[in-house]
Amino acid sequence: MRNSITLIALLALPLAAPAWDQPERQAPPAWDQLDAEQREALIAPVRDRWNDEPQAREHMLRHAERWQRMTPEERRSAHRGMRRWKHMSPERQEQTRVLFRQLRALPEDERRALRERWNAMTPEQRQQWLRENRPQE
């Protein structure tokens, strides 16, 4: 049950309006304080996605399990990353995908070195690096 709630919370995040768009108000109630209609409003999008995208189920579960293992600080960091991603242009998202794909494949010391090189690159050098390291399709 706890994993289900975590999955629902994780997948419903993109549906929530950004905090800066909402007036200041009291914290929402705990799950047990929600009525059936409120719970259904939270669960329905996840249930629909689960039913409509069977190929995504394993991915959804892995994300929920990983979220469950995160510390509060890791969760805050993940939220910040999701907000940054949401506001990136499609081109910038693609650049980020290429960079992360490369980083994931490297040992930690090489990751650190690539991050340092990336941060020192000019925009033109970054574009060149991305062209050279874009996966072949």
Domain ranges of the chain: 1-12+33-87, 89-137
What's 127's DSSP letter?
A: H
Per-residue pLDDT at 129 = 86
Per-residue pLDDT reduced to its tens digit, 70-86: 999 999 999 999 999 99
User: Minimal CA–CA distance to 13: which of 62, 50, 64?
Assistant: 64
Show the 3-state SS of 59-100: HHHHHHHHHHHCCHHHHHHHHHHHHHHHCCCHHHHHHHHHHH
Contact between residue 91 and residue 134 where contact means Cβ atoms under 8 Å apart:
no
* Residue 121 backbone phi and psi in degrees, to 5: -75, 150
Of residues 37 and 15, more confidence is placed in 37
132 confidence band (pLDDT: 50, 70, 90):
confident
